Chain A
């Protein structure tokens, strides 16, 4: 609890407040001037971030969650990201916690960022509990006519098509795959993931992310999953 309170107190000025403040909107935040002191470069080793046990996942690690890159749903466990993904799950804040935090530390959990929250906590339009679950579209778009009864569908075999995109876990292809491998990754399949084709790049990309904000998280009183050398 003490750690959680410390995080909230220190994060406030940086996170720029949370929903529920009421009253008039706060002033536009002014970027904090960059510090003039030169920090000693820190070299992060991120392997522990991929291998530590993630709370609430039945013993999964980040690596087993993202390799192969599929969205796992165990019908015998409560539904909710990362066990499946519902529309209102705060997947990015949870994913950021998985990528950055050390869960051997008391008080840190997959919900550490979501409880602040770090990112917007909900969609701008409410979802529905009933089919089709998504909110109606924004604006005044032209809808397709619903009067048709006969349609001209292609019947070509899968082999006639050229790959464009693939996705499993949210944000993995976008955040943990570098530019030089993006098309390769999207053309590949989970079997290539399982064979380790992209493991080195995922380590490299997470190291870059850790280089960017690992020290800030430490300054906020959080223990990061990366180790320093």
Chain B
């Protein structure tokens, strides 16, 4: 079925470059957040795009007794490329749990660090509600501490959208969406994944408000 839904003639190995070329520099492009802001993350505009710091998406939902939070970045990336771990990037998952809705009561910080041997990477989560100290361990591994599950690693790109259709609709002034065409098919992202007991937010006095920021030590690339 999915093959039928994938007529997009963009080879996976060149999808990231094609993505950059398809974007009109500076013009609004309806992606989740991929390649935005263009002057820092879009190869069509920036010769040194900061992929590890380029947020792709944030997801936050609940089911059963847990709240799930996923942040994806460094995508859409070639399926044969490794994950985008970078020691110099700070990821902050901000959560507002009380008024005003524009300030965070919870700040979860995530960083990557190299291990002692080649190709070893670790991840460290700080500030997770109800967790004493940090959650720390190797990437590509499910880490469990104080009832929280955490993981960082390489995954399939989860966003689905006909980017080409949106761009054509905007430029041609006609609706050009094609629901068989997912620009993000066949690509990967790097992701931070957290599953937190819902009761850790029992003291929230407003709906939770999530946002993610990235920043780099030493200035932008």
Q: Is the CB of B161 within 8 A of A119?
A: yes
Of the candidates A19, A28, A70, A162, which one forms a contact with B219 in the assembled complex, judged by CB atoms under 8 Å apart? A162
Q: Is the CB of A79 within 8 A of B63?
A: yes
Q: Is the CB of A119 within 8 A of B120?
A: no
Report how many residues on chain A are interfacial, defined by Cβ distance under 8 Å.
Answer: 105
B156 partner residues in chain A, CB cutoff 8 A? 123-125, 134-138
Pick the most buried of A71, A87, A92: most chain B CB atoms within 10 A of its CB.
A71
Q: Is the CB of A141 within 8 A of B80?
A: yes
Complex CA gap A216/B220 in Å reads 41
Tell me the chain A residues, 202-220 only, with Cβ under 8 Å from chain B: 205, 208-209, 211-213, 215-217, 220
Q: Is the CB of A161 within 8 A of B217?
A: yes
Complex CA gap A209/B167 in Å reads 11
Q: Looking across the interface, which residue of chain B has its beta carbon closest to that of A168?
A: B211
Q: Is the CB of B215 within 8 A of A162?
A: yes
Q: Is the CB of B158 within 8 A of A123?
A: yes
B129 partner residues in chain A, CB cutoff 8 A? none
Given contacts A72-B209, A85-B60, contact A151 B136 (CB under 8 A): yes
Complex CA gap A78/B21 in Å reads 39
Q: Is the CB of A189 within 8 A of B32?
A: no
Of the candidates B100, B122, B155, B160, which one forms a contact with A151 in the assembled complex, judged by CB atoms under 8 Å apart? B122
Tell me the chain B residues, 91-149 only, with Cβ under 8 Å from chain A: 92, 94, 96, 100-103, 109, 111-122, 124, 136, 138-142, 149
Of the A-B pairs whose beta carbons lie under 8 Å apart in the complex, a sample of 30, sorted by A's number, is A15-B175, A70-B94, A70-B102, A71-B211, A73-B210, A74-B207, A75-B201, A85-B58, A87-B59, A91-B32, A124-B2, A127-B158, A138-B12, A144-B138, A148-B116, A153-B113, A153-B124, A161-B90, A162-B220, A166-B214, A167-B33, A171-B33, A174-B34, A174-B36, A179-B26, A189-B213, A208-B170, A209-B28, A213-B170, A220-B175
Q: A68-B101, A216-B174 are in contact. List 20 more A-B contacts (CB 8 A).
A: A14-B176, A72-B208, A73-B209, A75-B198, A92-B161, A124-B160, A129-B63, A133-B193, A136-B155, A147-B138, A153-B113, A153-B136, A158-B215, A161-B216, A165-B53, A168-B58, A168-B209, A190-B211, A193-B102, A209-B28
